[in-house]
Chains A and B, each alone.
Chain A
Amino acid sequence: MQYRQIMQYQCTEPDNVSASIPKHGIAWKSVEDYTGIMSHTLSIAEKLTRNAEKLQQAYAGLAKALGVGDAVGRERAQAKIAEYNAEYESLAEQLRFAELEAREIATPRGRKPAKPLRELALDALDDLGVPAPPALIADLTAALTGIRPSPSRFASLRRDEENAARRNVAARPAWIVPAINAAELTAIPRLLCSSAWSLERRIVGSRSMRTDHLRIAESLARRLKQLREAGAPESKNIERLLFPIARAIPGATETGVLVDTDKVTEAARAELSVLEEADRAERGEACARFATSSPHVRLWGRPVLIDTAAAARAIK
């Protein structure tokens, strides 16, 4: 029963395994690693089984095509057989290695206690200070904690947060909410914010993509400086994260030279000084249009209208 529980949790909520099941020292960690490897081996075996089934079907197809003289069918079946054979070779090697590795259980790898995804996201957002895409949130989390949540999980997180907030918005001090478009006051699903931020901060105007980018550069540069001064190993990760962001700011970086945090900050501030005022004004105006909206709309934006006429005209 406990084994099945482990398998179930490993498949669905890997982040919560350690939090929900009590551990008992190093032996437990060996079992964890072993089941991890075993589950890996089993999944390859499942794939091989499916591959074998597909090959059988392809051969059956080939025999049928040969029987009726169907040249096209024969070519297609032969191509499929070649593809599945290649897949088989690859899976067979993977299985062989997985089985070899299963015989030598690796030194127990320590697993840090993992925070839920929402907590990780809120921490990253607080670090960044502006609406950010899931990929950046994931990268920053990975840089600072070594855990990289999959960006694809954020879409379901956002929906889960909205559903939970609808039931009881006071249940948590902060929710993961989408940024809001200044023009139409609708949600921008690909940009995430913390509901604890002011409305103005969560609104994205016409210049906000750029100003937010500059602010992200500033905050990462500040963080990098702190980490470098502390001699923290995470500084390398943050530098790797900051470099492409800083590269997109004229005068912030030089080729072949380590990131100069002061230079990045200076360049970002210089450009911000040109854009900030207009950006703030636009966001402020959008904010004012929310004056009579419900708390839910202020958090998740106005509902989206569907253009049915356009849908009718589209080719289908």
Chain B
Amino acid sequence: MTPENARLHQLRGGLAPVEVGARGIESLARNADCTRLRAIVITGLTPSKVIEHVLGELPDAMSPFAMTLTQAFEKRLLSNAGGSLLTVYREKGHLDPQDAKITNVADLAPRDTQVDRIRRERETRRLIELKLRGDPAAPNLILKPRLTLTIVGVTHAIELDYLVASDREPFYRVGVIKSYADRVGKTNRAHIRTACREASVGTLALQQLLTSLGQPVELAGDRIDMVLKAPGSFTPRLYAAQRAESELASLTRALAAAPSDLDQIEQMLPAGASLAQPEVIEALPNHYCSTCKEHCALWQHCRAQAQAQGNAIILGDQAAEQLAAAGSLNRAMDLLNGSGRPPDNRAEVVLAAELRAASTLLDRIANG
């Protein structure tokens, strides 16, 4: 075991790591201030795994109907030699008739064993190197590529939906397939951002690969492709070369902080403690916010903790920001009601005055 792996193994306290995947890694960027989430993901666990194996509760479930639909849509696009996916790219003019080189990495090593997983990573790398060398045999579509992302010295596998590049393009773009309904301007923006973020994890992995091969990272670009589903049918809708600059930037920042995060986490924990202990999870600082519910299975725990601590975030992000000078909800209540100790500083004086003025206005409005 490498020293880095040994370190993470120690922190996990014997729990086996899981493939956090693109979804797990992108959640780091969603809540960059949450040490609890960062500790969990960096050590190779997921909030769902912690819920189940550490806290002993039932983890979140995905509806089997949704899962069936998602799998069916993906299968529709990637089966038959990726024909449907190829057709959608051709129809939009992103691939020419001679851009018909398709490889399905999973065909080569389909099993879920370590040997096959490593084979898929190696084959993906080999195919990408073909493209970098300008080899005419380089595929235009690589289905189910498996890349790796190194975080604190260990590699995390990222299995993507596909990579795409026409013969005239210098390098691949990451593509994601999502069964979200595409309603054009009315499509749920949160879904689109999620898809962009997940794809951006793939782009980051490509960047790392380019660096390791001595190639410029700019080749990976900052664009991703997204395939959504037309409402009520399996007709695919392609959104090619979507900008993902901000998603990439936030992910890069989040991952750059990982090594110092790991040191910090180790220093925080008492000797012999690990993330396999519920009390250790509870003790790690968190940053509960209104979006945690969308991506983290621990949200209810963190909310209960915030309620018990009187954290202003339980009233919303706006409240947390506006009441920052008070430090806590209890203190803010004291300032509002003119009870407890007098304001400690100028900021509290101003906040107290503003809160009371707002309270007077509220009485006027609500009871006027």
Contacts and interface: CB of A to CB of B under 8 A. Distances in A.
Q: Is there a contact between chains A and B in the complex with CB atoms less than 8 Å apart?
A: yes
Interface of A: 72-73, 75-76, 79-80, 133, 135, 181, 183-184, 186, 188-191, 205-207, 209-213, 244-245, 247-250, 271, 274-275, 282, 304, 306-307, 310-316
B118 A249 contact: no
A212 B101 CA distance: 12
B124 to A, nearest CB: 11
List the 5 closest A-B pairs by CB distance, nearest first: A248-B83, A190-B107, A213-B81, A209-B81, A210-B100
Given A183-B137, A307-B118, A315-B5, 11 more contacts: A72-B57, A73-B56, A181-B108, A184-B126, A207-B100, A209-B103, A212-B81, A213-B83, A247-B87, A248-B83, A310-B121
B90 interface: yes
Nearest to A179: B107
A181 B137 CA distance: 12
A191 B110 CA distance: 11
A314 B154 contact: yes
B175 interface: no
10 contacts: A133-B107, A183-B126, A190-B108, A207-B100, A210-B83, A248-B81, A271-B100, A306-B115, A314-B118, A315-B155
Contacts of A304: 115, 119
B269 interface: no
A209 B87 CA distance: 14
A79 B61 CA distance: 13
A275 B97 CA distance: 9
B367 interface: no
A311 B137 contact: no
Contact of A205 (B90, B109, B137, B156): B137
B82 A75 contact: no
B115 A210 contact: no
Contacts of B115: 304, 306
Contacts of B106: 190
Interface string B72-96: 0000100111111011001100000
Given A189-B107, A213-B81, A250 B90 contact: yes
A316 B115 CA distance: 14
Contacts of B117: 314
Contacts of A191: 107
A186 B108 CA distance: 8
A203 to B, nearest CB: 13
Interface of B: 1-2, 5, 8-9, 17, 44, 55-58, 76, 79-84, 86-87, 90-91, 97-98, 100-104, 106-110, 114-115, 117-119, 121-122, 126, 137-139, 148, 150, 154-157
A212 B117 CA distance: 26
Contacts of A282: 137
Contacts of B44: 315
Given A311-B114, A314-B155, A316-B5, A72 B55 contact: yes
Nearest to B43: A315
Contact of A210 (B81, B107, B114, B148): B81
A59 B110 CA distance: 41
A76 B110 CA distance: 35
A244 B76 contact: yes
Contacts of A248: 80-81, 83-84, 86-87
Nearest to B123: A184
A311 B118 contact: yes
Contact of B97 (A80, A184, A211, A271): A271
Given A186-B108, A210-B81, A275 B122 contact: no
B118 to A, nearest CB: 5
B104 A306 contact: no
Given A275-B100, A314-B157, A213 B8 contact: no
Contact of B101 (A72, A210, A310, A314): A210
A190 B79 CA distance: 12
Contacts of A213: 80-81, 83
Nearest to B91: A250
B139 A206 contact: yes
A212 B104 CA distance: 14
A226 B84 CA distance: 26
A164 to B, nearest CB: 21
A188 B76 CA distance: 21
Nearest to B152: A315
A221 to B, nearest CB: 14
Nearest to A205: B137
B19 to A, nearest CB: 9
A316 B1 contact: yes
A307 B57 contact: no
B57 A75 contact: yes
Contacts of B122: 307, 310
